[in-house]
Amino acid sequence: MQKSIKTKILYVDDEIINNLNFEVLFRDKYTVFTARNSEEAVEMIASKKPDIIFSDQKMPGKSGAEMFIDLVEKSIEGSDVPKIIVTGYSDNEEVNNLLDNKTICNVVFKPFKTQQIEKIISEQLA
């Protein structure tokens, strides 16, 4: 019997509770990795090779947008996977620019719904 391979998701957020919540919500269906900042995320991308990346926008140090821009501009391995910003702010020019130039494929507004995340994953990895 062949074992099915779960989709690998990287979720980046500086708040531990948000990382834990994401992991608990989705670990039964997906393989979930979490990182607390852009440096940890880049290491995870290289070692775990996620199929899709979700990142909080507002974090100390580099924002989610800045991290995704760096991935793409420096052609870091994994920069070609779908990238999604998670934010609590509905009006963000930086995020809108990333959508316009296709650096990210979607934006999720907090608080998100489980079905919304699952829909994005299925659409992006179809």
List pLDDT tens digits, range 13-26.
999 999 999 999 99
For all residues of the chain together, what is the average pLDDT?
A: 92
Note whether 62 and 70 are within 8 A (CB).
yes
Other Cβ atoms closer than 10 A to 105:
16
Instruction: Give yes or no for residue 2 having a pLDDT over 70.
Output: no
Cα 3 to Cα 90: distance, rounded to the nearest angstrom: 41
The alpha-helical segments, DSSP class H, found in the chain are 16-26, 38-48, 64-73, 93-100, 114-124
The answer to whether 95 touches 87, Cβ cutoff 8 Å, is yes
- Hey, CA dihedral for 99, 79, 110, 118, is it positive or negative? positive
pLDDT band of residue 5 (cuts 50, 70, 90) is: confident
Under the banding of pLDDT at 50, 70 and 90, the label for residue 3 is low
The arithmetic mean of pLDDT across residues 52-58, rounded, is 97
Q: What does DSSP assign to residue 105? A: S
Distance CA 54, CA 32 (A): 11
CATH number of the structural domain 8-124: 3.40.50.2300
- Rg, Å, the chain Cα set: 14
Give the residue-averaged pLDDT of 50-62: 96
Confidence class of residue 88 from pLDDT cuts 50, 70 and 90? confident
Higher pLDDT, 77 or 100: 100
Q: State how far the Cα of 87 lies from the Cα of 107, in Å rounded to an integer.
A: 7
Q: How is the chain split into domains, by residue range? A: 8-124
Let me know how many helices (H) and strands (E) the chain has, helices first: 5, 5
